[in-house]
Structures are given as C-alpha cells and as structure tokens.
A and B are shown apart, each in its own frame.
Chain A
Amino acid sequence: MDTDAIMQWAAMGQHGFYVWLAYGVSLVVLLLVIVKTRIEASGLKKELELDLQLKARESGRTVSSAREG
C-alpha cells in the first residue's frame, strides 16, 4: 500500500476540501433519504400490526363473527 500515493490522491491537487465536501454531503444526504424511508416503513408496519392486534382483541370480545381486519 503506497501511502504516499494515496495521500496524494486524497489531496486532489489542492482541491481536496471541495471534492470531499461535495462527495461527503452527497453521501450523507442520499443515505438520509434512504434511511428515512426505511424507518417510515418499519414504523408503519409496527403501527399497523398494533392496530390489527387491537382490532382482533376487540372482535374477540364481541361475540359477533370474526371480521377480517
């Protein structure tokens, strides 16, 4: 591993700050978008499952025929 060459590459010829800023922020923003979507999805799933359980309990209590969902 030629650390010198890697350091030189990372420096991006004096523009290192800008290049890495651009790529870094892009990575963060895109990851945030993805993570937020997935959190929403799992949150929704939990919430709906809870709803389902509540309703199942309720319709279990009322002696009427079990209604789906």
Chain B
Amino acid sequence: MSAFTGQLVRELQLAGRARADVLNPVIFLLLAITLFALALEGKPEVLREHAPSILWVLVLLTNMLALDGMFRRDLDDGSLEQLLLPPAAAGIALLDKLLVQWLVTGLLIVLLSPLLGMILNLPATVYPLLALVLLAGTPAVSFIGAIGAALTAGARRGSALLALLVLPMLVPVLIFGVSAVNRALEGEAPRAELYWLGAISLASLMAAPFATQAGLRITLEQ
C-alpha cells in the first residue's frame, strides 16, 4: 500500500515538474472554448443551447492532447521497462500512472468547470451538476485513452492514430455526458446518465491496467 502511494506521489511530482505538459491541454481547452464563444458571436442563447455538446467534444479532444505523450516520455528515456517490472499483480504499478493521468487532466477539468460554464453562459445553478457529470465521465476518458496511448506510444504519427483508435470507443461517454448536462439544464437530475458514466468509468478502471500493460509490452518490443 505504501509502495502504491509512494509511486503516486512520485508521479505527481514528475507531473508537477513537467508543468507545460500538464497545463498545455488545459490552455487548449480554454482557448478552444473561447473560439467557440467568438465563432458563435457570443449570442447567449446559442451558447447555452450548444454548451453541453461543445464542452464534451472539447473535453475529449483535450484529453487526446494530454494522453498523447503519456508513455512516450518514458519510452524515450528508457523508464518504460521499469514500469512493467514490479512482480506485484499485473497492472497495479500502472494504476498509479493511470490515476495521475486523470488527476492532472480530468480532475483539473472538473475543478475548472464553473469557469467553463461561465464562458458558455450556463446558469450557475447548473455548475454543481456539471462538475458531477464531468467527475463521472472524465475517468473513463483517461483510462480508455491510456490503452490507446500505450498501443501508439512507439508508432509513427502516434497522435493522429491515438485519436482514431480512442475516440470511437468514447462515443458512449460523449452521448451520455451531453445528455446528462442537457437534462441538468432542464432542471432534472440526470440519474440514469450518471449511473452509466460511472459504470463505464469503473469498468475502464478495472480493464485499463491490464490492457495498458499488454500494450506497453508490445510497444517495447518494437
């Protein structure tokens, strides 16, 4: 257990040092949302109407950016093998890396969601539900995305390939996420959607370590 938290802290420290890698995706998200606000000429009703869709698509794309280099750095400096070394149950060592990935992307987005809601002219009453929906859905994006990142870490033009592989699998998250925020806007609690998002996130949390490990082994073989 202490090894687990120890590694977690180490990964967070690494992330803290690689500040650009952490902040760039977030800056992209803010920039892209601003672009939409500009492109829609700031019309308040239009922004509010399309906010759920715009937000979720951009969350997905932001994650594509954030996931892209997830394993490439370790591959380049040779520390990827060490990730796979621990004899402990398959994938536990990777769990740290996956969690940190979500902490610095998904959780960050959840914390920023009031700001994002403001830019998209969402009523403040919706902010808590918005944060909850993002909290339920972003782990799925990070974990499923990590599988793609592991497979494409050593591939040519890995970034485009990552998007092609991962985005189709994230369509259910997109659909439920958008539906959830839309229902929140109508004043209802999006229970069904939240359950689905949570279920997908949990399922991917369980499957990702194994799939990621398998993918990394393949990447190392190249």
Q: Do chains A and B touch in the complex (CB under 8 A)?
A: no
User: A residues near B, CB below 8 A?
Assistant: none
